[in-house]
Amino acid sequence: MDTTLLFIQFLNGMQLGVLLFLLAAGLSLTFGIMDLVNLAHGSLYMAGAFICASLTFWTGSFIWGVLLAIPAVALVGYVTEFLVIRHLYTRSHLDHVLATFGLILVFDTSVHLIWGSQGIAVPLPAFLDGQVTLFTDVVFPTFRLVIILAGLLIAAGLYYLVNHTRIGMLIRAGASNRTMVSALGINIQFLFSMIFALGAVLAGIAGMLISPISEASIGMGNQIIITAFVVIVVGGVGSMKGAFIAAIMIGLIDTLGRSYLDTIFKLFMSSNAAETSAPAVSAMLIYILMAVVLALRPQGLFPPKARG
């Protein structure tokens, strides 16, 4: 087997994985702590992409676009929480699903009204737009490498935040026992708002990072949100470590499946049959993985401790 190609595909899988992690982290936080099923999490990803795209053209630089878009997305997240989400915490999961689906419609249509339906292609500065030679014949697009590094950096930052700060202690306590935290005399409403805004920022950053690769488009979040849910369920709801490992795993499985499944299938079936069935099976792979995990270990691979 071509090891160079394998290594490049590994990097591609990592890049998808860290993006999934950025989305899943916020989802896992809000779900683990507030017990909120937020289908509209993907809308914040879309909001990040569109806001960043506009700011990139306004400032003339993608870097400035991202830096300015981060507080903007935090604000969008906060307003969403203030207007809608905070009234849902005491409700059932079904009410969450219903109301956040309504939010998706509102977000998508608002984007259509503001930016039109055509989507926005986001330009990269020249130093990010090329390729880097990692060693001899491994050449990789610079920007994808930046995504991997940025994602790992944010993951490390989150790890520090959750495990070594006071707010992290509250987050961990909240994930395992919610009533306990409020008993400690913490302003739980404020904590929730901040966590929601943090989740929004993480999702927004994922959207900003993907926008120069694909583009900012309506409904982009609705496609990836289901995969992000798969990630947190496989990893164990409420667990940051689980979300990270599962995100990387699913990123790799999806990418390697797309790269090698047809070759593998050709070993035991006709080339024509392999070409048709491989894409279908590779699309199914992550769902098969989730069904297997849920059937054998319903709490996920790395559930948070003492969840009760």
Chain residues 200-239 in contact with another protein, contact rule CB under 8 A: 210, 212-215, 217-219, 222-224, 226-227, 229-230, 233, 237
Give the residue, chosen from 59, 71, 92, 184, that forms a contact with another protein under the rule CB under 8 A.
92
Residues 62 and 49 sit within 8 Å (Cβ to Cβ): no
Q: Any contact of residue 267 with another protein (CB under 8 A)? A: no
Q: Any contact of residue 50 with another protein (CB under 8 A)? A: no
Q: Any contact of residue 291 with another protein (CB under 8 A)? A: yes
Q: Any contact of residue 49 with another protein (CB under 8 A)? A: no
What SS3 class is residue 238? coil
The Cα 52–Cα 66 span in angstroms is 6
Q: Any contact of residue 1 with another protein (CB under 8 A)? A: no
Q: Any contact of residue 93 with another protein (CB under 8 A)? A: yes
Q: Any contact of residue 287 with another protein (CB under 8 A)? A: yes
Least CB distance to another protein at residue 166 (A): 27
Least CB distance to another protein at residue 184 (A): 22
Residues 227 and 247 sit within 8 Å (Cβ to Cβ): no
Which residue, 168 or 219, is less far from another protein as judged by CB?
A: 219
Q: Any contact of residue 131 with another protein (CB under 8 A)? A: yes
Distances in whole angstroms, Cα of residue 156 to Cα of each of 30, 41, 151, 192: 19, 22, 9, 22
Structure tokens at 20: 């999934």
Q: Cα dihedral angle (46, 47, 51, 52), rounded to 10 degrees?
A: -50
Structure tokens at 33: 């702590």
Give the residue, chosen from 61, 277, 301, 302, that forms a contact with another protein under the rule CB under 8 A.
277
Return the range that interacts with another protein (CB under 8 A); candidates 158-166, 180-188, 189-197, 271-279.
271-279
For the stretch 4-7, contacts whose Cβ atoms lie closer than 8 Å and that sit 24 or more positions apart, written own/partner, are 4/137, 4/138, 5/259, 7/138
Least CB distance to another protein at residue 280 (A): 3
Going 92 to 188 to 86 to 304, the CA torsion angle's sign is negative
Distances in whole angstroms, Cα of residue 149 to Cα of each of 2, 142, 143, 153: 25, 11, 10, 6
Q: Any contact of residue 265 with another protein (CB under 8 A)? A: no
Give the residue, chosen from 75, 84, 146, 186, that forms a contact with another protein under the rule CB under 8 A.
84
Q: Any contact of residue 87 with another protein (CB under 8 A)? A: yes
Q: Any contact of residue 284 with another protein (CB under 8 A)? A: yes
Q: Any contact of residue 79 with another protein (CB under 8 A)? A: no
Structure tokens at 88: 């849902």
Residues 148 and 15 sit within 8 Å (Cβ to Cβ): yes
Residue bearing tokens 């090891």: 3
- Identify residue 31 by its one-letter amino acid code: F
The Cα 56–Cα 71 span in angstroms is 14
The Cα 172–Cα 303 span in angstroms is 12
Return the range that interacts with another protein (CB under 8 A); candidates 138-146, 151-159, 167-175, 184-192.
138-146
Site string for another protein, 238-257 (x = CB under 8 A): -----------------xx-
Which residues ranging from 2 to 21 are in contact with another protein (CB under 8 A)?
2, 4-5, 8-9, 12-13, 15-16
Q: Any contact of residue 104 with another protein (CB under 8 A)? A: yes
